[in-house]
Amino acid sequence: MPNKIRVTVWNEFIHEQTSDDVKKIYPHGIHHAIAKFLAENNDMQIRTATLQEPENGLSDHVVKDTDVLIWWGHKAHDKVDETVVNRVQKRVLEGMGLILLHSAHESKIFKRMLGTNCSLKWREAAEKERLWNIEPGHPITQGIGEYIELPHAEMYGERFDIPTPDKIIFLSWFQGGEVFRSGCCWERGHGRIFYFRPGHETYPIFYNREIQKVITNAVRWASPRIFLENFCYNAKPIEKLK
């Protein structure tokens, strides 16, 4: 068995401690729910980290010991320390995978990696969402049919202010009429980045087996092939120059 994929599931962990409705759905926090289904895979080893921990749970040691970082945040994006954002960005450029879920679209790290506002349109009306699998050959969509249907979801609509993804793999339709690029892949440096839309705190979306399958596939896709530190040097010519 080759080395396991070292996964860190990061959560700001605020809604689950302040709202009874959220606590009912995710009594131990969203990070715990995600860690639990990922831990079913014997090629992965899972740890969790939260905003409240020292260095937001992402010390230099933790980040260096992570192959894929999963990010869920909503209420407290601005509370994430700049030092931590710098550290995570550097590690993604070196090869670490980064998976951003739902409201992580507004996180400092997502905006840092992509360089745009990452803003969107939203509505909370428990409407139906159908995520169309438009890249059935992609590693992240393996085991997923033509679409995933979520009976109750928060709506995210275009325009989503992101740089054009290297690949869009899910496209959402909402009952209210909007569409959204719900599964987007980028490469930055040696790292792979995946944004996946579902996951609002008052819907039990992280218990949906298809959503779990997508996140599991995404961990394997985003796991690093190489870690390479940034360097820039003066090179001697290989051939003799006149």
Binding-site ranges for Zn ion (CB under 5 A): 103, 154, 200
Tokens of 194: 């995946």
Q: Which is nearer to Zn ion, 103 or 217 (CB)?
A: 103
At closest approach, how far in Å is the CB of 11 from Zn ion?
A: 13
Q: Which is nearer to Zn ion, 181 or 200 (CB)?
A: 200
At closest approach, how far in Å is the CB of 197 from Zn ion?
A: 10
Q: Which is nearer to Zn ion, 20 or 146 (CB)?
A: 20
Burial class (CB in 10 A: 0-12, 13-18, 19+), 59: middle
Instruction: Give the residue closest to Zn ion by C-beta.
Output: 200
At closest approach, how far in Å is the CB of 203 from Zn ion?
A: 8
Tokens of 218: 């995404």
At closest approach, how far in Å is the CB of 195 from Zn ion?
A: 14
- Classify the C-alpha dihedral 81-85-90-91 as positive or negative: positive
Using DSSP's 3-state secondary structure scheme, residue 23 falls into helix
- What type of residue sits at position 213? K
Q: Which is nearer to Zn ion, 58 or 120 (CB)?
A: 120
In terms of DSSP H, where are the helices of 95-208?
Answer: 108-114
CA–CA gap between residue 210 and residue 150 (Å, rounded): 10
At closest approach, how far in Å is the CB of 154 from Zn ion?
A: 4
Q: Which is nearer to Zn ion, 12 or 154 (CB)?
A: 154
CA distances from 22 to 17, 124, 204 (A): 8, 15, 9
